Amino acid sequence: MQHTVRGPIVFDGVGLHSGKPARLTIRPAAAEHGIWFKRTDIRFGDALIPALWDAVERSPLCTRLVNAAGASVSTVEHVMAALAGCGVHNALIEIDGPEVPILDGSAVPFVTAILDKGLRGQAAPLRILEIIETVQVHTASGWARLSPADTPRMTFRIEFADDAIGTQEKSLEMSNGTFVRELSDSRTFCRNSDVEAMREQGLALGGTLENAVVVDGDKVLSPGGLRHADEAVRHKMLDALGDLMLAGAPILGHYEGHKAGHAITNMLLHALFSTPSAFRMIECTGDIRAKMPGVGVLPEEIPEVA
Ligand SMILES: [Zn+2]
């Protein structure tokens, strides 16, 4: 069965890159609706933006969606990861500005509020996208791959010069609340040496030491330090789950990212959908459903964060 949220859920905050305040409301939506954003501050013209891979516009350091009329919403990846990880398939996300609030830099505020409100089952079968043939994309900086698997799985590797991050690799089965327990509280991160360059480009204007982990060499500048020794790679997996949610259906397969990021994961979805032999849409039976990320998630599994 498909699921939506039981009622509206409101978040207030500022955008990480724009620094602009925004109110975001996740509202229930009918079966077969999918996930859509609606810019409530746009009075004239089309303010509805689909949360789909082919609406992604190239954008540095975040995932930005744009509709045919030019209305856009940026930094959608953490709220999309929370919806994927909690098993929400249908929702209308209203927002009164151009960028999703960054909150604490992770997905845990979204997850906590979604699980507090609860989910509602809908009288429509859930279809999932099963990978039946490996698809891979490369860039100069990294690669990403989707391959067949009986259980959704993610593997990610990062390599940073700063010792506070260094080389990290993690592989997780995504069933039974793994996202909520293992990934949802990991925050976005950056190198202190990049902060000035980002600000000159008009990015990270809403960034603080509280909503991003900032590292400098072997030091973590954010007060309180890390939530996990490998918080950085966990956050990259969180981002990838959010970006893969833009496939429009949960994916049954193994995602691997090697020094990948938003642009590579989106290239991978383009490659997937231009290779019809690589996937099939199947109706979710009980045993497949039991393996999907949002099933079996309990509110008490949400990590406690400072
Ligand atoms: Zn992120």
Domain with 219 in it: what CATH number? 3.30.1700.10
Q: Beta strands 189-191 and 48-50: pairing type?
A: unpaired
pLDDT tens by residue, 101-159: 999 999 999 999 999 999 999 999 999 999 999 999 999 999 999 999 999 999 999 99
Residue 159 lies in a domain: yes
- How far is ligand 1, taken at its centre, from the CA of residue 283, in Å? 30
The residue among 75 and 298 whose pLDDT is bigger is 75
- Pair 237, 263 in one domain: yes
Residues annotated within the binding site are 78, 235, 239
Residue 306 lies in a domain: no
- How far is ligand 1, taken at its centre, from the CA of residue 81, in Å? 9
**DSSP single-letter state for residue 186:** P
How many domains would you assign to the chain? Answer: 2
Residue 106, φ and ψ in degrees, nearest 5: -115, -170
Residues annotated within the binding site for Zn(2+) are 78, 235, 239
Residue 183 lies in a domain: yes
> End of a domain among 60, 94, 122?
122
48 touches 33 (CB < 8 A): no
- Pair 142, 104 in one domain: no
> End of a domain among 122, 150, 180?
122
Residue 239 lies in a domain: yes
- Pair 104, 147 in one domain: no
pLDDT tens by residue, 144-199: 999 999 999 999 999 999 999 999 999 999 988 899 999 999 999 999 989 889 99
Its domain, for residue 267, covers 127-296
- Pair 39, 82 in one domain: yes
CATH number at residue 71: 3.30.230.20
Q: What mean pLDDT do residues 255-264 have?
A: 97
pLDDT-derived band at 291 (thresholds 50, 70, 90) equals confident
pLDDT for the residue numbered 215: 95
- Pair 134, 160 in one domain: yes
Residue 197, φ and ψ in degrees, nearest 5: -60, -40
pLDDT tens by residue, 21-67: 999 999 999 999 999 999 999 998 999 999 999 999 988 789 999 99
| C-alpha–C-alpha distance, residues 75 and 68, integer Å | 19
- Pair 146, 253 in one domain: yes
Which of 62, 98, 97 minimizes the C-alpha distance to 198? 62
End-to-end CA distance of the chain: 35
Q: What mean pLDDT do residues 235-260 have?
A: 97
**Minimum mean pLDDT among 1-5, 32-36, 292-296: which range?**
292-296
- Pair 210, 259 in one domain: yes
Around ion ligand 1, which residues have CB less than 5 A away?
Answer: 188, 239
pTM, two decimals, is 0.96
pLDDT for the residue numbered 187: 97
> End of a domain among 122, 139, 167?
122
**How open is the CA angle 36-98-95, to the nearest 5 degrees?**
50
pLDDT-derived band at 286 (thresholds 50, 70, 90) equals confident
pLDDT for the residue numbered 306: 58
- How far is ligand 1, taken at its centre, from the CA of residue 260, in Å? 12
pLDDT for the residue numbered 287: 84
